[in-house]
């Protein structure tokens, strides 16, 4: 019997943007991840940022809708003033980084829930992570051979 305990993984804007663009290898990776029982979280504001970046791409919204329909995927809403305040604090911290400001929602969830963030570029998260009381867990989706 496996002792595997699924934990949720938060998708940042770099991942959502590439899904919206139809990146086959990334979509294949996430599909396998879901089939393996991993929970994926799509922060709703981060999804909004990905759709903003994907304006003009006809399948962008449908692809993110499909991702949200994966068996183990959840779209995280922004709920209430305390969460809005947490988001505002993250946006303020992130203003001097190359992170997309829509990633503040991913950061806020990760900081509260202690869940790893899946990203295509871990270095973008390094400074923000180092400034928080508890560093974020950043996992880079990359092909080490490329």
Q: Give least dist CB 124 to another protein, A.
A: 15
Joined tokens for residue 72 = 């183990």
Assess 74 for contact with another protein (CB under 8 A).
no
Q: Applying CB under 8 A, what is the total number of residues that bind another protein?
A: 41
Q: For the chain, where are the alpha helices, taking DSSP H only?
A: 13-20, 24-35, 44-53, 60-68, 80-94, 104-113, 126-131
Smallest Cα–Cα separation from 100: which of 91, 113, 111? Answer: 91
Joined tokens for residue 98 = 């190359």
Distance set, CA 117 to CA 41, 54, 56, 59, 121 (Å): 9, 21, 27, 25, 11
Assess 137 for contact with another protein (CB under 8 A).
yes
Which range touches another protein (CB under 8 A), out of 57-65, 85-93, 99-107, 124-132?
57-65
Task: Provide the mask over 8-47, with x wherever binding to another protein is found by CB under 8 A and - wherever it is not.
Answer: -----------x--xxxx-xxx-xxx--xxx---------
Binding site for another protein (CB under 8 A): 2-7, 19, 22-25, 27-29, 31-33, 36-38, 59, 62-70, 116, 118, 137, 139-146
């Amino acid at each position: 019997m496996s002792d595997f305990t699924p934990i949720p993984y938060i998708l940042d804007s770099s991942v959502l943007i590439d899904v919206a663009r139809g990146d086959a290898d990334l979509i294949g990776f996430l599909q396998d991840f879901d089939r393996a029982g991993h929970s994926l979280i799509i922060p709703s504001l981060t999804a909004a940022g990905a759709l903003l970046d994907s304006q003009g791409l006809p399948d962008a919204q449908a692809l993110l809708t499909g991702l949200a329909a994966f068996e183990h995927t959840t779209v995280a809403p922004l709920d209430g003033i305390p969460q809005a305040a947490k988001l505002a604090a993250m946006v303020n911290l992130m203003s001097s980084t190359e992170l997309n400001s829509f990633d503040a929602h991913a950061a806020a969830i990760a900081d509260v829930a202690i869940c790893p963030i899946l990203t295509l570029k871990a270095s973008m998260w390094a400074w923000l992570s180092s400034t928080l009381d508890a560093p974020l867990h950043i996992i880079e989706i990359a092909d080490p051979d490329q």
